[in-house]
Amino acid sequence: MEQTSVFELRQVNRNEAGREILTNASLTIGAGEFVALLGPSGAGKTTILRLFNALDSPDSGEIRFRGERLDQVPVRDLRQKVGMVFQTPAILEGSVRENLLVFQRWQKDFTISDEEIHQILIQVGLENTRPDQAARSLSGGEKQRLALARTLMNEPEVLLLDEPTSNLDPVMAHQILRQIKTLQEEMGFTVIMVSHNHELAARYADRFVILLQGQIAADGPLSVLKTAHSPAVQTFLNGGGE
Amino acid sequence: MESQFYVVTWWDVLVALVFIALTYGIMRYWKIGLEKTLLVGTVRTFLQLTLMGYLLSYIFNQESWYFMVGLLTLMILVASFEGYRRQKLPIPHYFLILVGSLGITVLIVLGTILKFILAVEPWYYPFVMIPIAGMIIGNGLNSMTLTANRFIGELKHREGEVETLLSLGAPVRAAVHGSLVSAIRAALIPNINNLMTVGLVQLPGMMSGQILAGIDPLIAVRYQIIIMYMWITTAVLTDVISLTFIYRQFFTSRDQLRLKILRQAEG
Ligand SMILES: Nc1ncnc2c1ncn2[C@@H]1O[C@H](COP(=O)(O)OP(=O)(O)O)[C@@H](O)[C@H]1O
Ligand SMILES: [Mg+2]
């Protein structure tokens, strides 16, 4: 990897209710990568994203963000730089505009015009959505896009996406992933995307990390994973891991 | 008509037992089967209130301010413990939070009444201070336990919303704003409704008591108005102060929602 590292996991463990849900995870992610985090349901994919966004802390091991220990980075700065879109995003009561400014309106002197809002909505393919529309009346796919736009408002350096296409049909799924890819090229952020559909992810990501039962079982380009890995990884990639 | 104060004697109380006799007779005739409980309750009412009477006579005979302040402290501690025990909420430091919120509220509300509204001399005059402190503490405690419970419910219900806001880099205070507002509104609405309907349906107990004791109804009414205003302030102060400390207990120093504690709460 020629780029500087954005995230580094060193021997990270996390327990929940007396059970190890992440075991000895070590991983380095470079700036500008598009990483797909694959694995069956319950493998620990969301767990890793929550660690990156500092919504949880590891029980042991170390996480570094741009070389600095994660627990030394001021947490709110970190979260603005490392934006996360949840699998089922919470859309708040109120308008689309209010949802986009949900946190900025706590900052004094923050103003934004309807035109700027419109530009942001276009970026995520919501060109037909009005800023004053009730956000909760949007469709599932539109809500997902709104949540993406809300995270992009912070102009993050890293974008964490938790199954961004799980509520969408295949056509829409490709559409939104294409948009994310385009945004990445424009804005230059790093993408870490959780997915359980590696065929979909294969079209956009350039690196694949496979998690099985809380352990990183494989890491590399998909072509390599398909040929040179353990039976468990092969089983997952051939669709038997679900 | 001149107002007159009718002294109740122990003999009068004895005669009032006809009510119990009548109830007992009806229960027997209808085979309701609560006769024994009724008798126990009758005796307990007599004993508990008589004891309270002697206690109050003793208290009202004291003349030092530090006795009254000590008594106030004791009242706050006992009430807080009762509230803490009654509702096993999974809030770290809950007892201390109750004590602190009640203490600050009593200081502000009781202080205002004694110093500026009634301008009582001396300020620790027990006939005013103790009953009013009792009302503030009782009402404040009720309001706080209701609000705390409601807040936890809101937090559980809005877990996704709270974590979404945190994940965007919002301060904890912003992430829980919706839950705080809902909880406080829910606690205040009954109090505000009280302001709307008081005197329309029934007379407040305290006012009826004063009138029975021979006090001019207009004076009793003025007292009641002050009490009503005091109640709403008490509710809002105790709620806001306690929630300020409570909400933070559900987050770590790294602004993470403490899901484990939250999930301990039932419901
Ligand atoms: N708060 C929690 N309490 C108990 N178990 C949890 C909690 N969060 C996650 N887990 C467990 O950890 C494992 C990994 O979860 P997760 O990272 O969400 O998996 P996924 O790969 O599907 O995103 C699962 O078995 C899940 O049940
Ligand atoms: Mg998941």
Q: Which residues line ligand 1 (CB under 6 A)?
A: A 16-17, 21, 39, 41-47; B 259
Confidence at A105, pLDDT banded by 50, 70, 90: low
| Inter-chain residue contact A90 with B255, CB threshold 8 Å | no
Contacts of A72 in chain B (CB under 8 A): none
Please provide the distance, in angstroms rounded to a whole number, between the alpha carbons at the two ends of chain A: 31
**What separation in Å is there between the alpha carbon of A14 and the centre of ligand 1?**
10
Q: What pLDDT, on the 0 to 100 scale, is given for residue B194? A: 87
**Do B44 and B101 fall within a single domain?**
no
Of B35, B59, B83, the one marking the end of a domain is B59
Domain housing B28: 1-59
Dihedral Cα B247, B252, B258, B264, nearest 10 deg? -70
**Do B44 and B95 fall within a single domain?**
no
Interface list for B 233-262 with A (CB within 8 A): 252, 254-257
**Do B75 and B53 fall within a single domain?**
no
For residue A3, pLDDT over 70 is answered with: no
Confidence at A2, pLDDT banded by 50, 70, 90: very low
Smallest Cβ–Cβ distance between B170 and the set A57, A84, A106 belongs to A106
Confidence at A4, pLDDT banded by 50, 70, 90: confident
Where along chain A do its domains lie?
5-237
Smallest Cβ–Cβ distance between B161 and the set A75, A77, A92 belongs to A92
- pLDDT tens digits, residue range B92-116? 999 999 999 999 999 999 999 999 9
- To test the pocket of ligand 1, the residue of A15, A16, A85, A236 to mutate (highest count of ligand atoms within 8 Å of its CB) is A16
pTM score of the predicted model:
0.88
**Do B239 and B147 fall within a single domain?**
yes
- pLDDT tens digits, residue range B116-155? 999 999 999 999 999 999 999 999 999 999 999 999 999 9
Q: What pLDDT, on the 0 to 100 scale, is given for residue B267? A: 56
Q: What pLDDT, on the 0 to 100 scale, is given for residue A50? A: 98
Q: What pLDDT, on the 0 to 100 scale, is given for residue A108? A: 62
Where is A60: in which H helix or E strand? Answer: strand A60-65
**Do B80 and B53 fall within a single domain?**
no
Average pLDDT, chain B: 93
For residue B76, pLDDT over 90 is answered with: yes
Cα B148 from Cα B89, distance rounded (Å):
8
**What separation in Å is there between the alpha carbon of A153 and the centre of ligand 2?**
24
**From its phi and psi, is residue B239 left (phi > 0), alpha (psi between -120 and 50) or beta?**
alpha
Q: What percent of chain B has pLDDT over 70?
A: 98
Residue in A with minimal Cα distance to B260: A17
**Do B139 and B190 fall within a single domain?**
yes
Of B19, B36, B59, the one marking the end of a domain is B59
- pLDDT tens digits, residue range B197-237? 888 877 788 888 888 888 898 999 999 999 999 999 999 99
Which ligand 1 atom sits closest to the C-alpha of A50? Answer: 17
ipTM metric:
0.93
**Do B19 and B70 fall within a single domain?**
no
For residue A161, pLDDT over 50 is answered with: yes
| Inter-chain residue contact B254 with A54, CB threshold 8 Å | yes
Q: What is the DSSP string of A88-157?
A: S--PPSSBHHHHHTTTGGGSTT----HHHHHHHHHHTT-TT--TTSBGGGS-HHHHHHHHHHHHHTT--S
For residue A228, pLDDT over 80 is answered with: no
Q: How many CB atoms lie within 10 A of CB B46?
A: 12
Q: Is B181 on the interface with A (CB under 8 A)?
A: no
| Inter-chain residue contact A86 with B164, CB threshold 8 Å | yes
**Do B204 and B256 fall within a single domain?**
yes
Query: Which of B258, B233, B237 has the alpha carbon at shortest distance from B247?
Result: B258
Q: What pLDDT, on the 0 to 100 scale, is given for residue B235? A: 96
Q: Is B263 on the interface with A (CB under 8 A)?
A: no
For residue A1, pLDDT over 90 is answered with: no
Q: Is B170 on the interface with A (CB under 8 A)?
A: yes
| Inter-chain residue contact A90 with B171, CB threshold 8 Å | no
**Do B133 and B228 fall within a single domain?**
yes
Q: What pLDDT, on the 0 to 100 scale, is given for residue A223? A: 77
For residue A242, pLDDT over 80 is answered with: no
**Do B30 and B156 fall within a single domain?**
no
Can you name the CATH fold of A5-237? Rossmann fold (3.40.50)
- pLDDT tens digits, residue range A27-43? 999 999 999 999 999 99
Asked if residue B106 lies in contact with residue B97, where contact means CB atoms within 8 angstroms, the answer is: no
Total domains in chain B come to 2
**Do B252 and B135 fall within a single domain?**
yes
For residue A240, pLDDT over 60 is answered with: no
Q: What pLDDT, on the 0 to 100 scale, is given for residue A229? A: 66
